[in-house]
Chains A and B, each alone.
Chain A
Amino acid sequence: MKHKVTRAAGTGFTHLVLGGYTLLALFPILLVIINSVKSKDGIFDSPLSLPTAETWSLVGFEKVLAKSPFIHFFGNSLTVTLVSLVLILVLGAMAAWALSEYRFRGSKLLAIYMAFGIMVPIRLGTVSILELVVKLELTNTLTALILVYVAQGLPLAIMILGEFIQQVPKELKEAARCDGVGEFKIFFQIILPLIRPAVATVAVFTMVPIWNDLWFPLILAPGEETQTVTLGVQQFIGQYVTDWNAVLASLSLAVLPVLVMYVFASRQLIRGITAGAVK
Chain B
Amino acid sequence: MSQVALKNLTKSYDGKNNVLSGINLDIQDGEFVVLVGPSGCGKSTLLRMLSGLESISGGDLEIDHARVNELPPAERGIAMVFQSYALYPHMNVYKNMAFGLKIAGAKKDEIDRRIRHAAGILKIDHLLERLPRELSGGQRQRVAIGRAIVREPKLFLFDEPLSNLDAALRVQTRLEIAKLHKDLAATIVYVTHDQVEAMTLGDKIVVMHDGHIQQAGSPLELYQQPANLFVATFIGSPKMNLIDGIVTEASATGVAVKVAGDQIVRTEVDGSGIAVGDKVSVGIRSEHLWEGDAGSERFHGKVNLVEHLGEANYLYLTLENGQDVVVRGDGERAVHIGDTIALSAPAAAFHVFNRDGLALRRLKPGNMVAARHRVTA
User: Measuring CB to CB, which residues of chain A are less than 8 angstroms from any residue of chain B?
Assistant: 169, 171-172, 174-182, 185, 190, 193-194
Residues of A within 8 A of B104 (CB): 180
Q: A177–B72 contact, CB under 8 A?
A: yes
In the bound complex, how far is the Cα of B50 from the Cα of A178, in angstroms?
Answer: 11
Q: B74–A180 contact, CB under 8 A?
A: yes
In the bound complex, how far is the Cα of B84 from the Cα of A61, in angstroms?
Answer: 58
Q: B53–A177 contact, CB under 8 A?
A: yes
In the bound complex, how far is the Cα of B74 from the Cα of A180, in angstroms?
Answer: 4
Residues of A within 8 A of B85 (CB): 171
B73 sits at the interface (CB 8 A): yes
Contact-residue bracket for chain B: 20 to 34
Q: B80–A180 contact, CB under 8 A?
A: no
Grouping DSSP codes into helix (H, G, I), strand (E, B) and loop, the A interface class, with mixed when no group exceeds half, is helix
User: Measuring CB to CB, which residues of chain B are less than 8 angstroms from any residue of chain A?
Assistant: 51-53, 72-75, 78-80, 82-90, 99-100, 103-104, 147, 151
CB distance from B88 to the nearest CB of A (A): 6
In this complex, what residue of A is CB-closest to B148? Answer: A178
CB distance from B147 to the nearest CB of A (A): 8
A-B contact number at CB 8 A: 59
CB distance from A191 to the nearest CB of B (A): 11
Residues of B within 8 A of A176 (CB): 88, 99
Residues of A within 8 A of B86 (CB): 169, 171-172, 174-175
Q: A178–B73 contact, CB under 8 A?
A: yes
Q: B82–A194 contact, CB under 8 A?
A: no
Residues of A within 8 A of B80 (CB): 174-175, 178
Residues of B within 8 A of A172 (CB): 86, 88-89
Q: B84–A171 contact, CB under 8 A?
A: yes
Interface centre among B79, B89, B147 (most CB of A within 10 A): B89
In the bound complex, how far is the Cα of B84 from the Cα of A194, in angstroms?
Answer: 17
Interchain residue pairs with CB less than 8 A apart (12)? A171-B84, A174-B53, A174-B73, A174-B82, A177-B53, A177-B74, A178-B53, A178-B73, A179-B74, A180-B73, A182-B103, A194-B89
Given contacts A172-B86, A174-B82, A194-B89, A179 and B99 within 8 Å (CB-CB): yes
